[in-house]
Amino acid sequence: MDFLASCYFWFTLFFISALLFPVTFLIWLLTVLFDRRRFILHKATCCWADLVLGINPYWKTRVEGRKKIDPKTTYVMVSNHQSGTDILLLFRLYRHYKWVAKQSLFYWPFIGWNMWLNGYISIARTRGRSKLMMMDKAANAVRDGNSVMLFPEGTRTRDGNIQPFKTGAFRLALDTKSPILPVAIKGTYFAINKNSLLIHKNYNIRLVVLDPIPYEEIAQLDPKEIATKVHDLIREELELAN
> What pLDDT digit, counting tens, does each position of 13-43 carry?
999 999 999 999 999 999 999 999 999 999 9
Element (H, E) at 186: strand 180-186
pTM over 0.75: yes
Mean pLDDT calculated for residue range 163-192:
95
Mean pLDDT calculated for residue range 166-182:
97
The whole-number pLDDT of residue 198 equals 84
What is the C-alpha separation between 171 and 83, in angstroms, rounded? 25
Question: Is residue 93 predicted with pLDDT exceeding 70?
Answer: yes
The whole-number pLDDT of residue 128 equals 63
Mean pLDDT calculated for residue range 193-214:
87
Query: In the structure, what pLDDT confidence band is assigned to residue 127 with cuts at 50, 70 and 90?
Result: low
Q: Max alpha carbon distance in the chain (Å)?
A: 53
Mean per-residue pLDDT over the chain, rounded: 93
Query: Which whole-number Å values give the CA distances from 40 to 35, 165, 168, 175, 230, in the listed order?
Result: 7, 31, 28, 27, 30
**Buried b / exposed e across 89-112, counting CB within 10 Å, b at 16+?**
bbbbbebbbbbbbebebbeeebbb
Question: Is residue 170 predicted with pLDDT exceeding 60?
Answer: yes
Query: In the structure, what pLDDT confidence band is assigned to residue 203 with cuts at 50, 70 and 90?
Result: confident
Question: Is residue 242 predicted with pLDDT exceeding 60?
Answer: no
- The better pLDDT of the pair 147, 133 is held by 147
Cβ contacts of 178 within 8 Å, gap of 6 or more = 74, 75, 76, 142, 172, 215
Number of domains in the chain: 1
For the purposes of burial, counting CB atoms within 10 Å of the CB of 32, is it exposed (0-12), middle (13-18) or buried (19 or more)?
middle
Mean pLDDT calculated for residue range 58-66:
93
- CATH code of residue 135: 3.40.1130
What is the C-alpha separation between 30 and 224, in angstroms, rounded? 43
Percentage of the chain modeled with pLDDT above 70: 97
The whole-number pLDDT of residue 111 equals 95
Expressed as residue numbers, the domain containing 183 is 2-239
